[in-house]
C-alpha cells in the first residue's frame, strides 16, 4: 500500500530545482562579467590611496618633526620619502611600491584634472615632465623645489593596458601642500 505524503512533507520537483539552479547560474555569470571592470578599478583606487597616504604622511612628518621631507618618484611605480635633518641621524628613507600593478601613467583620452596643473606626462610639476630634481615638503607644510620656489603639480596613475576609467590623479598645491585625490569616471574627474 502506498502512503501519500502530506503537503508539508513534500519537496521540490526536479524541474523546480533546475530552474532555481539556472537562475543562480545567470546571476553568477552577470557578476563574473562585471568583475572584469571592478578589479582594475579596485587596483587603481588602492594605488591612489597609497599615493595619497604617503604624500600626506610626508607633509605631516615635515610639520611634526620640523624638518624638510624630500619626495622622489622612482621608476614607474615607487615613491621615496627622505627626511632631511641638519642635526643628528635621520631615519632611513622610506620607499613604497604601488600594489596591484598600478604605474605612473597618463591616458591619451583623459583630460587634465580640475586643478589644471598640466598632464603632459605622468609626473608633472612646475611645467616640467617628471618635475624638478628636488621636491620637498617644508616645516610649514608647503611644497617646494630645490630653489625654494613653490611647486604645484599632478601625479597621474593607472593600470597599464586598462581602461581610462582606471585613471587616478593626486594634485599638490605648493603654497599649502594640500594633497587632493581624483578619479576619472569615464567622462570627468571626480574628487
pLDDT digits (tens, 9 = 90+) for 75-115: 999 999 999 988 888 889 999 998 888 999 999 889 999 99
pLDDT at 170: 94
The answer to which of 34-38, 41-45, 157-161 has the lowest mean pLDDT is 34-38
Whether residue 165 is predicted with pLDDT greater than 90 in this model: the reply is no
CATH number at residue 164: 3.55.40.10
Is the residue at 87 inside a domain? Answer: yes
Is the residue at 4 inside a domain? Answer: no
The dihedral of CA 27, 158, 42, 78: what is its sign?
Answer: positive
Range of the structural domain that residue 126 is part of: 42-190
Is the residue at 1 inside a domain? Answer: no
* pLDDT averaged over every residue in the chain: 88
Is the residue at 148 inside a domain? Answer: yes
Selected residue with higher pLDDT from 2 and 152: 152
Is the residue at 131 inside a domain? Answer: yes
The count of structural domains within the chain is 1
19-42 burial code (b ≥16 CB/10 A, e <16):
eeeeeeeeeeeeeeeeeeeeebbe
pLDDT at 56: 93
Is the residue at 134 inside a domain? Answer: yes
Is the residue at 8 inside a domain? Answer: no
Across residues 167-189, what is the average pLDDT? 92
Whether residue 34 is predicted with pLDDT greater than 90 in this model: the reply is no
pLDDT at 39: 80
Whether residue 134 is predicted with pLDDT greater than 80 in this model: the reply is yes
Selected residue with higher pLDDT from 42 and 182: 182
Across residues 155-171, what is the average pLDDT? 89
Across residues 149-159, what is the average pLDDT? 93
Is the residue at 30 inside a domain? Answer: no
Amino acid at each position: 500500500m502506498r502512503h501519500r505524503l502530506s503537503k508539508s512533507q513534500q519537496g521540490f520537483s526536479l524541474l523546480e530545482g533546475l530552474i532555481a539552479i539556472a537562475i543562480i547560474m545567470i546571476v553568477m555569470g552577470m557578476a563574473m562579467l562585471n568583475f572584469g571592470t571592478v578589479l582594475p578599478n579596485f587596483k587603481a583606487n588602492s594605488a591612489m590611496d597609497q599615493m595619497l597616504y604617503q604624500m600626506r604622511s610626508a607633509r605631516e612628518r615635515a610639520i611634526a618633526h620640523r624638518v624638510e621631507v624630500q619626495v622622489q618618484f622612482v621608476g614607474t611605480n615607487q615613491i621615496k620619502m627622505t627626511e632631511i635633518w641638519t642635526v643628528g641621524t635621520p631615519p632611513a628613507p622610506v620607499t613604497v611600491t604601488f600594489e596591484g600593478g598600478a604605474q605612473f601613467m597618463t591616458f591619451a583620452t583623459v583630460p587634465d584634472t580640475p586643478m589644471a596643473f598640466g598632464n603632459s606626462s605622468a609626473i608633472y610639476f612646475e611645467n616640467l615632465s617628471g618635475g624638478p630634481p628636488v621636491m620637498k615638503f617644508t616645516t610649514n607644510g608647503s611644497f617646494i623645489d630645490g630653489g625654494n620656489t613653490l611647486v604645484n603639480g599632478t601625479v597621474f596613475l593607472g593600470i597599464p593596458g586598462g581602461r581610462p576609467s582606471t585613471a587616478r590623479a593626486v594634485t599638490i598645491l605648493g603654497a599649502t601642500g594640500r594633497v587632493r585625490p581624483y578619479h576619472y569616471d569615464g567622462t570627468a574627474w571626480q574628487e
